Structure 1
Amino acid sequence: MLTVRAPATSANLGSGFDVFGIALESPADVVRVERADETTISVSGAGSQYIPEDPEKNTVGAVAEALDAPAHIRIDKGVRPSSGLGSSAASAAAAAVALNELYDRGLSREELVPIAAEGEALVSGAAHADNVAPSLLGGFTIVTGDGITQVDADVSLVACLPEITISTRDARGVVPESAAMADIVETVGHAATLAVGMARGDPDLVGRGMGDGIVTPERAALIDGYDRVRAAALEAGATGVTVSGAGPTLLAVCRPSSRRAVASAMVGAFEATGIDSRAYQTRVGSGATIYRD
């Protein structure tokens, strides 16, 4: 038996729609695999009641098929589905690493990215790699048609998850099909600033680089209390706030010294809106980790 822990992720980061992603130190999914003649799946943990155990409908089933690696697979969900924290990507990444190791397929982490992304397609409808790449590789990742660039960033974060649900499909449905050139130019500038900030571990640059007037406003409108929570986080010391992935989680960048205050402010602001929430005081973390039982 083999166990792999794969971290939650945050994609887009405001200005990097479908391109930027980061691994979070917490929360995470834990996947245990054991060789078998055919694949079976069991799921426990956060939101497990909403996750199908049929291998043909589960992300890890698609990964097992792609690797020709049948197994008994147990998923312990630490990342709630429909959270905007790469829940399906964490399971897919963990399964890809575990089954690659279990069957000695010899694939690199980079080669596992498209395989894990195919598992993601079962949930989101498309094989995007902006979540699976950081979950596999760790750090800050830039995914383009030419490949993946990875940076080991050191930035403190707060991920605040409200008790509401937004499906990835619905969130993609509000993405504009076109944008004004001025908005595109501004977003490119912000994206460049964010990338430099990640490379330098500079929370001020990262926060400033989260600005986006194209996709984020449309997704923010789906989240009750977004403006209030964002304002509270900035007042408490956050350098930038945006929607994590498809939402409803809000991601705040901050200095380590203000992380607790930012988390408290975000939870309090959601509570003032009548919504329960949970804040993860975290940071950019490493990718999937193997544990041998």
Structure 2
Amino acid sequence: MLTVRAPATSANLGSGFDVFGVALDRPADVVRLEKASRTTIDITGVGSQYIPEDPDKNTVGAVAEALDAPAHIQIDKGVRPASGLGSSAASAAAAAVGLNELYDRGYSREELVPIAAKGEAVVSGDAHDDNVAPSIMGGFTIATDDGVTKVDADIPLVACLPDIVVSTRDARGVVPDTARVEQLVETVGWAATLTSGMHRDDPDLVGQGMNDTVVTPARADLIEGYDAVKSAAHGAGATGVTISGAGPTVIAACHEPDKRAVGTAMIDAFNDVGVEARVYQTEIGDGATVF
């Protein structure tokens, strides 16, 4: 038996739709795995009542099948489902890393990313690497068809999770099919700025690069109070604000001394529109850890 802690993640970061992701220092899922003749799943923790324990319908079941590694898997959810914090990815990442070691399959961390993404497909309908990559590898990741590039960045972050549910399928359903050339040029510039900021550990550049005029505005309508929360966070010192993954979590980059003020401003702004929320004062963290 072994135990794996896999972190929550924030994907897209505005300009990096389906490509960028960061591992968050907190929250995280904790998954315990033990070899077995067939895969069984038990789930506890936040939102566990909404997650199927049938291996054919659960992200970790798909990972166990892909690795040909049946196990009894106990998932303690620290990352709420439908939060925009990579909840399903955290479980899938933990299962991939843990089963790889338990069965001595010999895959590298990067090689485990597409395997864990098979679990993501159970939830979203498509296999995406943008959440599982940072949850497995840590840091800031750039996931493309050619593989994953990782940067060990150090950026303070504030993640504010409102008591709203946004399904991944709904969030993908509102994404525009087309974009103007001007929007494409803007997005490339912002993505380049964000990447440079990650390399320099510069919250100001990262914040500038979190802009987006294509995907984020379409998804903002699914999150009550988003515009007010974004404005409040900027007013409290955030250098950049956007939707985390599919939402409804709102993620902000800032300087370390401003984290508390940014978090408080975001909670207050949600409260002003009648939405309860909680905040994680966090940072870019490590990937899945076996202990």
Match of 2:154 in 1: 154
Give the match for residue 30 of structure 2: 30
Instruction: Tell me, yes or no, if structure 1 residue 180 matches structure 2 residue 186.
Output: no
Aligned residue in 2 for 1:235? 235
Q: CA RMSD in A?
A: 0.5
Structure 2 CA distance for aligned equivalents of residues 86 and 17 of structure 1 = 14
Instruction: Report the counterpart of residue 221 of structure 1 in structure 2.
Output: 221
Matched residue SS, 1:7: strand
The residue number in structure 2 matching 1:100 is 100
Q: Deviations over 1:30-64 (max 9, x none)?
A: 00001111110000001000000000100000101
Question: Is residue 105 of structure 2 the alignment partner of residue 112 of structure 1?
Answer: no
Residue 221 of structure 1: how far off its partner (Å) = 1.3
- 1:255-286, CA deviations, whole angstroms, 9 ceiling, x for partnerless residues? 11000000011001000110000000000000
Residue 7 (structure 1) shift: 0.2
1:272 aligned partner: 272
TM-score, normalising length: structure 2: 0.99
State how 1:7-156 maps to structure 2 within 5 Å.
7-156=7-156
Look up the SS of the partner of 1:170 in the other structure: helix
- Kindly provide the CA deviation profile for residues 145-172 of structure 1, in whole angstroms up to 9, marking residues without a partner as x: 1111100000000000000000000000
Secondary structure of the corresponding residue to residue 113 of structure 1: helix
TM-score (norm 1): 0.99
User: The residue matched to 1:116 in structure 2 has which SS?
Assistant: helix
How far the C-alpha of 1:198 sits from its partner, in A, is 0.6
CA contact (8 A) 2:110 2:147 kept: no
CA–CA separation in structure 2 for the residues paired with 1:199 and 1:45: 35
1:225-264 superposed matches below 5 A: 225-264=225-264
CA distance in 1, matches of 2:61, 2:210: 35
Structure 2 residue matching 1:6: 3-state secondary structure:
strand
* Unaligned stretches of 5+ residues in structure 2: none
CA distance in structure 2 between the partners assigned to 1:18 and 1:67 by the alignment: 24
Q: Which amino acid is 1:56 matched to?
A: D
Indicate the SS of the match to 2:279: strand
SS at match of 2:161: strand
Q: CA deviation at 1:26?
A: 0.2
Tell me if the contact between 2:24 and 2:282 (Cα under 8 Å) persists in the aligned partners: yes
1:6 paired residue number: 6
Q: Find the residue that maps to 1:178 and give its secondary structure.
A: coil
Counterpart CA distance in 2 for 1:92 and 1:286 is: 16
- 1:267 and 1:45 map into 2 onto residues whose CA distance is 23
Deviation digits for residues 109-156 of structure 1 (CA, Å, limit 9, x no counterpart): 011001100010000000000000000000000011111110000000
How many angstroms apart in 2 are the aligned matches of 1:71 and 1:180? 48
d(CA) in 2 for partners of 1:193, 1:120: 28
C-alpha distance in 2 between matches for 1:263 and 1:135: 23
Distance 1:288 1:240 in 2: 27
- Give the % identical residues: 73
Counterpart of 2:30 in structure 1: which amino acid? V
- Alpha-carbon displacement from aligned partner over 1:231-254 (angstroms, at most 9, x marks no partner): 110000000000000000000000
What CA distance in whole angstroms lies between the structure 2 residues aligned with 1:71 and 1:215? Answer: 38
Aligned to 1:206: 206
User: 1:195 matched to which residue of 2?
Assistant: 195
